[in-house]
Amino acid sequence: MTPAAATPVLIEAEPFAALPPALRRGDRSSRWAEAVLGIEHVDSFLEGPCFGWDGTLYVSDLAHGRILTISPEGEVAVLIETDGEPNGLAVHRDGTLWVADYRRGIVALDPRTGRCRVVVDRYRFEALRGVSDLVFGADGTLYFSDQGQSDLANPDGRVFRYRDGDGLTLLMDGIASPNGMALSPDGDVLYVAVTRANSVYRIPLRSDGRVGKIGVHLHLSGGSGGPDGLAVDALGGLAVAHYGLGRVWLLDSLGLPAGVVCVPQGLGTTNIAYGGPDGCTLFITESSSSAVMRAQVPVPGLRLFSHSD
């Protein structure tokens, strides 16, 4: 008999770091912000938190083409400024930073030298529609979402797998805004946030490379956006950043409610990453205030490919 779920807990996040005035770009126009948000000027649009080997927190600024670093003390600096639109970030085991760049595709960046190389930018000789997020499996297989401008009226978003030697494989198409990505601890399930459908899908991954029957893992409601960034904890629970609601939902391994994290300011909760000495600190990018929040959660995050032996 399956044990009953514990009573969901309410957790209050606290400010960790904020973009200093010198790095805010509200005086400059942003083509991305104008097209997607309907406003021409924004200080930044923070996304894609992930941790490097040395504890440095990387975040992207989608609106102004920057990748930023945040020290353990909360000091923010610009790592690189590009002509792209970086969104999701993931650190490879070799220390390189892989970027889901909406304009350029999947890009690998060496943080030490600033050198970039494009890994994937086309599928069957056609440009990608606009990548959003990415995640590495335990064996280094890369999964990423190709969101573009898909929504319920134009559900043409896609999910891909990329392996060295095998190249690119389309796992699913016809999605209304595929966004955040996360893998179960055993690597058998790929979770995909589907923002415009206010849902999280589950894609079973078979050992022969095929996918099983795809279904809805979670339905949400409310907010001006929907589920955005995802992260998995060590017990197989899922954390879901709900953009437009200022919340991060915590679910157990069965998908039952385990808690909710509330941020102290703003509704633009875009993405999340587990960190801290014990892995029990959840770091949250809050785009409307150009800030990163943090919250102590009961279960540590899953050990990722970047930090595995």
Nearest to 157 by CA among 109, 123, 188, 113: 123
The one-letter amino acid code at 35 reads A
| Number of structural domains in the chain | 1
Dihedral angle computed from the Cα positions of residues 58, 61, 62 and 63, in that order, rounded to the nearest 10 degrees: 180
Which residue in the block uniquely carries the two structure tokens 């939902």?
249
Looking at 91-95, 157-161, 238-242, which range is the least confident one?
91-95
Alpha carbon distance 212, 81 (integer Å)? 40
Q: Using an 8 Å Cβ cutoff, are 79 and 117 in contact?
A: no
Confidence grade of residue 4 (pLDDT, cut at 50, 70, 90): low
Residue 199 inside a domain? The answer is yes
Residue 45 inside a domain? The answer is yes
Domain that holds residue 37: 9-307
Instruction: Please check the confidence at residue 117 and state whether its pLDDT lies above 70.
Output: yes
Residue 265 inside a domain? The answer is yes
- What residues form DSSP beta bridges with 247? 242, 262
Alpha carbon distance 146, 176 (integer Å)? 11
> DSSP assignment, residue 31?
H
Nearest to 121 by CA among 132, 129, 109, 113: 129
Instruction: Please check the confidence at residue 244 and state whether its pLDDT lies above 50.
Output: yes
Q: How many CB atoms lie within 10 A of CB 227?
A: 30
The one-letter amino acid code at 53 reads W
Residue 4 inside a domain? The answer is no
Residue 2 inside a domain? The answer is no
Residue 1 inside a domain? The answer is no
Average the pLDDT over 258-264 and give the result: 97
- Total residue length of the chain: 309
Of residues 280 and 224, the one with the higher pLDDT is: 280
Residue 3 inside a domain? The answer is no
Q: What is the pLDDT of residue 1?
A: 42
Q: What is the CA radius of gyration of the chain?
A: 18
- Integer angstrom CA distances of residue 96 from 71, 115, 174, 208, 278: 18, 10, 31, 28, 23
CATH number, domain of 51, equals 2.120.10.30
